[in-house]
Amino acid sequence: MSASGLAQIVLYLVVLLLLVKPLGGYMARTYEGQPTLLSRLLGPLERLIYRAIGVRAEDEMNWKTYALAMLLFNGTGLVVVYVLQRVQGSLPLNPQALGAITPDSSFNTAVSFATNTNWQGYGGESTMSYFTQMVGLSVQNFVSAASGMAVLVALIRGLSRKTSETIGSFWVDLTRSALYILLPLSFVMAIVLVSQGVVQTFAPYQTATLLQSTQDSNGKAIVEQVIALGPAASQIPIKQLGTNGGGFFNVNSAHPFENPTPFSNFVQLLAILLIPASLCYTFGKMVKDTRQGWAVLSVMLVVFIPMLSLCASQESHAPSSITSLGVTDAMSALAPGGNMEGKEVRFGIANSAMWAVATTAASNGSVNAMHDSFTPLGGLVPMWLIQLGEIIFGGVGSGLYGMLVFAILAVFVAGLMVGRTPEYLGKKIEAFEIKMASLVILVPSATVLVGTAIAVVVGAGKRGVLNPGPHGFSEVLYAFSSAANNNGSAFAGLSTNTPFYNTALGVAMFFGRFWVKIPVLALAGALARKKRVPPSPGTLPTHTPLFVVMLVGVIVIVGALTFIPALALGPIVEHLTFAAGAK
């Protein structure tokens, strides 16, 4: 990797960590109902929302009521987005007169955005009207992210309270997440992106005359290009801040109207991990021990930095299939060097690798380079980060509650090693808590492996594989890993906009989101009811370097045991094949 690339990575990490404490502290005050800088401005609107939906801020819920409210709210959003797509042709703000979307694609997209996955089996500019993108997809970007943050806050309350039957109000947590955190940050970021050239218009698509004509596959001359436009700048911020990832345009953040400059790239990349990283400090503040938050953030960084280093180093060298043709991968005055296939020249190797690792460490899924064009081990990194369960930063809310589940599992393992009842933050971890934690870990993993197995066996699944051999298998495995873990990125050599894949991946997204949220809320309710146990000489401290190492070990071992056999059939054997061919 070049010195310039290394400097960019260091700068990114430094800026990210500097923002963790101020934003994390602000979010903690927001969720605890304390005054903030925006309270005077947004307080009246918050109270108006409560009156409009008929709730009182002081009324709290037990975990079952909280889960029911969450499911009803997200289920309603899913239905609304489905209907919007089916009647799109008769709705306003559709200057290109785009028609109704097919039932299977509408189902897939509705589940995708309701679950914060933002998997896209369609091309935005050729499929979705401005109205559908704004009223359907962008609204879901806000509320699906806020829903994940609400579930996290409920779990934190479960850990911090004692002998309590309630874990807060879903409606209050949802409102505060969207109103005080996501909306203000999105507003500021939208202004920045407009200044960089991201488009924001309701005008119809424009037609430009080509300076040099070309031909289509039938030999017909092409002399014009249709340039897609739209209200993108108002939707890109929440796409990144809410770890949603769904692009306004088909090529996502590689499109010059979504991500035109190196500065816009840096801002969007920072936004992907900003809230997930800051929520670690929020967690520490809300449990009255910030050391706990820093320990969790350290675990994330201990996994993230080596994965980033591996991906960047692999992409710094072109695969043998390219160099054997006489193409050099060395950096020069006329060439950026490395594996530039599928990457934007204006971003280069370092920014492409950073984005790929950040977007899959978080459950974001946006891309500024084609993951399918990465080297075998370079592509393995984002795939494996997804398969860990999207807990290395992860989605807003969902990443940290997944990490806390692994922390509970780690103290359970430690308790088995010393013959002591495990404890986490003064709460005894017993059979029910381990059962719920096991569901959180096993459901997405089983969904990935079962879905992949079915897809590579049935005819409808095999017909979507456009590349033979291990790379084709990698594409299928990546698709189900991305769907079940609510990421949304893809190895795009797989043809997925078919009834089989739209349905199968839609089901995987649904199970991967809601069959995880419900056990997390059950865990929150069980922990909230428990008494707090005073620490004793045998208590395992969960803020020390020893615990950080142990938690990293549990995460890596669980990920390795679950997915190494499948990875061996895809990217690992592909890497070995390339290595053998180079000798």
Per-residue confidence (pLDDT) for residue 582, from 0 to 100 = 53
pLDDT of 93 strictly over 90: yes
Alpha-carbon distances, residue 435 vs 83, 438, 477 (angstroms): 37, 5, 27
Q: How wide is the angle at C-alpha 121 spanned by C-alphas 106 and 229, nearest 5°?
A: 90
Exposure letters 19-48 (e unless 16+ CB within 10 A, then b): bbbebbbbbbbbbeeeebebeeebeeebee
Per-residue confidence (pLDDT) for residue 26, from 0 to 100 = 97
pLDDT in tens, 188-207: 999 999 999 999 999 999 99
Please, which residues have CB within 8 angstroms of residue 385's CB and are 6 or more apart in sequence? 303, 307, 357, 360, 361, 392
* Mean local confidence (pLDDT), 28-43: 95
Whole-number Å distance between alpha carbons of 138 and 260: 21
- At 241, list the tokens: 């801040």
At residue 577, what is the residue type?
Answer: T
At residue 452, what is the residue type?
Answer: T
Is residue 204 within 8 A of residue 96, CB to CB? The reply is yes
Residue with tokens 């407009």: 194
pLDDT of 418 strictly over 90: no
pLDDT tier at 338, thresholds 50, 70, 90? confident
Quick one: DSSP state of residue 568? Answer: I
Is residue 198 within 8 A of residue 260, CB to CB? The reply is yes
pLDDT tier at 575, thresholds 50, 70, 90? confident
Radius of gyration of the chain, Cα coordinates, nearest whole angstrom: 23
Q: How wide is the angle at C-alpha 11 spanned by C-alphas 9 and 14, nearest 5°?
A: 110
Work out the burial of residue 236: count CB atoms within 10 Å of its CB; fewer than 13 is exposed, 13-18 middle, 19 or more buried.
buried
* Mean local confidence (pLDDT), 321-327: 67
Q: Is the pTM of this model over 0.75?
A: yes
* Mean local confidence (pLDDT), 110-118: 96
Provide, rounded to the nearest whole percent, the portion of the chain with pLDDT above 70: 97
Per-residue confidence (pLDDT) for residue 241, from 0 to 100 = 97
The three-state secondary structure class of 555 is: helix
- Of 275, 554, 551, give the one whose Cα is nearest residue 395: 275
Is residue 132 within 8 A of residue 120, CB to CB? The reply is no
The three-state secondary structure class of 233 is: coil
pLDDT of 318 strictly over 80: no
- Of 578, 176, 583, give the one whose Cα is nearest residue 339: 578
Whole-number Å distance between alpha carbons of 459 and 68: 38
Per-residue confidence (pLDDT) for residue 583, from 0 to 100 = 52
pLDDT tier at 540, thresholds 50, 70, 90? confident
Weakest-pLDDT range from 153-162, 281-290, 535-544: 535-544
- Of 83, 556, 535, give the one whose Cα is nearest residue 307: 556
pLDDT tier at 363, thresholds 50, 70, 90? very high
Per-residue confidence (pLDDT) for residue 331, from 0 to 100 = 73
Q: Where are the domains of the chain?
A: 3-198+233-582
pLDDT in tens, 53-72: 999 999 999 999 999 999 99
Per-residue confidence (pLDDT) for residue 578, from 0 to 100 = 72
Q: Which H or E run contains 42?
A: helix 39-53
pLDDT tier at 323, thresholds 50, 70, 90? low
Per-residue confidence (pLDDT) for residue 530, from 0 to 100 = 95
- At 290, list the tokens: 């910030």
Whole-number Å distance between alpha carbons of 299 and 502: 35
The three-state secondary structure class of 118 is: coil
At residue 319, what is the residue type?
Answer: P
- Of 444, 438, 436, give the one whose Cα is nearest residue 523: 436
pLDDT of 390 strictly over 60: yes
Q: Which H or E run contains 226?
A: strand 221-227
* Mean local confidence (pLDDT), 151-167: 96
Whole-number Å distance between alpha carbons of 104 and 507: 11
Quick one: DSSP state of residue 200? Answer: B
Exposure letters 537-559 (e unless 16+ CB within 10 A, then b): eeebebbeeebbebbbebbeebb
pLDDT of 324 strictly over 70: no
Distance from the first to the final alpha carbon of the chain: 24
pLDDT in tens, 251-273: 999 999 999 999 999 999 999 99
Taken as a whole, the chain contains a residue count of: 583
Per-residue confidence (pLDDT) for residue 449, from 0 to 100 = 96
Weakest-pLDDT range from 30-39, 202-211, 236-245, 414-423: 414-423
- Of 488, 558, 516, 538, give the one whose Cα is nearest residue 148: 516
On average, the pLDDT of the chain sits at 93
Exposure letters 426-461 (e unless 16+ CB within 10 A, then b): bbebeeebeebbebbbebbbebbbebbeebeeeeeb
Other beta carbons within 10 angstroms of residue 117's beta carbon come to 33
pLDDT tier at 579, thresholds 50, 70, 90? low
